[in-house]
A and B are shown apart, each in its own frame.
Chain A
Amino acid sequence: MTARIGVVTFPGTLDDRDTQRAVRVAGGEAVPLWHRDKDLKQVDAVVLPGGFSYGDYLRAGAISRFSPVMETIIEQARAGMPVLGICNGFQVLCEAHLLPGAMLRNTALHFVCRDQRLRVETSGTAWTADYTAGQEISIPLKNIDGRYTADERTLDELEAEGRVAFRYATGGPAADGYGNPNGSLRDIAGITNAAGNVVGLMPHPEHAVETLVGTGRTDGLGFFTSVLKKLVSA
């Protein structure tokens, strides 16, 4: 018995196929979901992959957030279904108010594409249980609207409640992927909701699940194994 993980495709989504593959590599069943379809096909969890849904028109994620599939996802996420938003998916989750804050244009105004060192700040979410708090991982990052922003009160609240899930690791040379790549406040790369079922981050775990391609590291695989373990044991 394995779990079914839905992967949403919006017009302009880029990373849906890699995400489906990551789910399969981790041992799950990947179920493609279409943006116009409210039916989640009885999946146990959903990933909103990266890309440029609706061309990033208006704001990144602003139009996809109102798509039919999101209506059901928002409802199910509030009921506890695990949801992971990667890059554009993180932007969609913020626009949908499932996660607080918003993403803005990178401070340096450049599209950044590199292997990024991240510090996992909590293992207490559906998507990070296979990591340990404080563990550093390296996964690809590629965005231009990646500057996480929220007001001071929200940031303090996130920190106090242990809801900063990932930070850009800053303790080493840029050549090794260290440093804040986009001006995100408090070096925040990803956050979780209070219940720990909804997680969003800018870097891409789905591109780091096999040694054959990319960096040759599999640091992103833990996202998918974490949620599968949780679902199978549930």
Chain B
Amino acid sequence: MARVVVDVMLKPEILDPQGQAVQRALPRLGFDGISDVRQGKRFELEVEGPVDDAALARIREMAETFLANTVIEDFNVKVES
């Protein structure tokens, strides 16, 4: 079985207050030198059968219609071996 990973991130122009809160906490914890943090979501899909072009097209459709809200988010699909 192959694993396909879908990463979903807020679009660059969308304010991410959760990422900012994480970034602001870092120096207090002794982690310096991080100028920006943005928080996203990662979906790990275990795919039955071959991950061919048709399967990837369906997964992109899934990401577009459901896993991501493309009004505010971008997504990226990659196959893990």
Contact = CB atoms under 8 A, between A and B. Distances in A.
Nearest to B71: A102
Q: Which bucket holds chain A's interface residue count?
A: 20 to 34
Nearest to A185: B15
B26 interface: no
A66 B71 contact: no
B17 interface: yes
B45 interface: no
Contacts of A59: 69
Nearest to A101: B71
B15 A183 contact: yes
A62 B17 CA distance: 21
Given A58-B67, A62-B66, A66-B66, A108 B17 contact: yes
B14 interface: yes
Interface residues of B, number: 12
B18 interface: yes
A149 B14 contact: yes
Nearest to B65: A66
B52 to A, nearest CB: 26
A167 B10 CA distance: 25
Contact of A104 (B13, B14, B21, B66): B14
B79 interface: no
A109 interface: yes
A121 interface: no
B67 A109 contact: no
Interface string B1-24: 000000000100111011001000
A219 interface: no
Given A62-B66, A149-B14, A183-B15, A109 B21 contact: yes
Given A66-B66, A109-B21, A150-B71, 17 more contacts: A58-B66, A58-B67, A59-B69, A94-B71, A102-B69, A102-B71, A104-B15, A105-B17, A106-B17, A108-B17, A109-B18, A147-B15, A149-B14, A149-B71, A151-B13, A151-B71, A183-B17
